[in-house]
């Protein structure tokens, strides 16, 4: 069993499994997991809703005897669509369309997201989701159990906290956390006195992100690095190129995309930065990028250039 204190003192590249069973077939997902594990990736992030509810089963089928050598994080609160006839055929067809038709990926993602159901948090829902995750992941405990896209009020709900602590006392959960995807919810957390044990938030370069991460005794999980990159304007891309040209330590990075991944690691003192690529070459390259300790003093004010305007 991996000591989770390491997540508070070291930086890790993690494997995000959100596409497994959805846009990524089981075969390709298993190959990705194999590459990640053999390359030394120990952190795997999944959720009940990922891959139309199939991602956890794929990850669980792979982990098996490797369980003590990995950190498994799953999330509760968003349910996948209920099973239906020819589900595998339909998801396979969706993958084919995505690969064959330019621009189809965005439309399919939108349709997939609309099919997901945000549940009202209740103690019984938490227990049911936890037990389902444990069964699918083929394990008797989760290292991290995270409230999926919660509101600030939901993460403080006394009934939910009580049932989570009870399941933790039973040994089913090692650490409890929250995922705040919405900027407004992150700002509520910022002005409160609350500090979650685990905070999972998307990469940003605004002051809220800077203030929320790197709190002592908090495990930071950062995601959506490439999603942010894809939203950048030409002005922001130009700023990335400027950083790369002015600091020789970044000379080994091939492009702005690689620079942003490295900057994500620079923004946290410890914790995990998630990647979602299934390309073996990119996985290995991302591992190399994560190990480049730039240690460059870039003024936080300069990073204002990278704040994405929604």
Please write the tens of the pLDDT for every residue from 104-119.
455 545 544 544 566 6
**Residue 103 covered by a domain:** no
Buried b (16+ CB within 10 A) or exposed e, 244-268: beeeeebeebeebbbbbbbbbbebb
Position 35 pLDDT exceeds 70: yes
Q: What is the pLDDT of residue 95?
A: 43
Is residue 95 in a domain? Answer: no
Q: What percent of the chain has pLDDT over 70?
A: 84
- Amino acid 201: pLDDT: 97
Render pLDDT for 173-204 as a digit per residue (tens, 0 to 9).
999 999 999 999 999 999 998 999 999 999 99
Which range has the worst mean pLDDT, 35-49, 64-78, 241-255?
241-255
Residue 166 within a domain: yes
Of 148, 80, 87, 90, nearest to 113 (Cα)?
80
216 part of a folded domain: yes
Let me know if residue 309 belongs to a domain: no
At 137, give phi and psi (nearest 5°).
-85, 0
Strands 219-223 and 271-275: parallel
The beta strands (E) that lie in the chain are given as 11-16, 43-45, 71-76, 78-79, 117-118, 142-147, 173-179, 198-202, 219-223, 271-275
* Phi, psi (deg, nearest 5) at residue 230: -65, -15
CATH number at residue 280: 3.20.20.100
Q: Which domain holds residue 291?
A: 4-81+116-232+258-295
Report d(CA 286, CA 290) in Å as an integer: 6
- Pull the structure tokens for residue 186: 């992150």
- What is the number of structural domains in the chain? 1
Q: Would you state the structure tokens that stand for residue 194, as one six-digit string?
A: 């609350």
In a domain, 131, yes or no: yes
Of 73-77, 94-98, 143-147, 196-200, give the lowest mean pLDDT range: 94-98
What number is the average pLDDT over the span 48-68? 96
């Amino acid at each position: 069993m991996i000591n989770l204190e390491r997540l508070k003192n070291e930086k890790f590249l993690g494997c995000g499994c959100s596409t497994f069973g959805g846009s990524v077939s089981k075969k390709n997902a298993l190959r990705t997991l194999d590459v990640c594990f053999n390359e030394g990736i120990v952190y795997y992030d999944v959720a009940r809703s990922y891959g139309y509810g199939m991602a956890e089963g794929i990850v669980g089928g792979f982990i098996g005897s490797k369980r003590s050598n990995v950190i498994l994080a799953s999330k509760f609160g968003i349910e996948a669509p209920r099973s239906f006839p020819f589900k595998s055929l339909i998801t396979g067809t969706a993958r084919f369309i995505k690969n064959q038709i330019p621009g189809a990926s965005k439309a399919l993602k939108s349709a997939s997201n609309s099919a997901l159901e945000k549940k009202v948090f209740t103690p019984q829902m938490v227990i049911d989701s936890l037990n389902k995750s444990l069964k699918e992941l083929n394990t008797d405990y989760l290292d991290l159990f995270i409230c999926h896209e919660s509101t600030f009020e939901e993460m403080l709900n006394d009934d939910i906290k009580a049932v989570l602590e009870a399941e933790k006392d039973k040994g089913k959960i090692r650490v409890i956390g929250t995922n705040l995807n919405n900027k407004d919810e992150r700002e509520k957390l910022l002005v409160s006195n609350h500090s979650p044990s685990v905070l999972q938030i998307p990469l940003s370069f605004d002051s809220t992100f800077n203030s929320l991460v790197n709190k002592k005794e908090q495990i930071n999980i950062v995601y959506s690095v490439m999603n942010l990159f894809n939203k950048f304007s030409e002005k922001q891309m130009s700023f990335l190129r400027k950083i790369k040209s002015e600091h020789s330590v970044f000379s080994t990075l091939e492009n702005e995309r690689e620079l942003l991944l490295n900057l994500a690691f620079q923004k946290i003192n410890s914790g995990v930065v998630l990647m979602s690529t299934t390309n073996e070459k990119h996985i290995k390259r991302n591992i190399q990028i994560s190990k480049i300790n730039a240690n460059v003093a870039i003024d936080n004010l300069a990073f204002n250039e990278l704040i994405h305007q929604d």
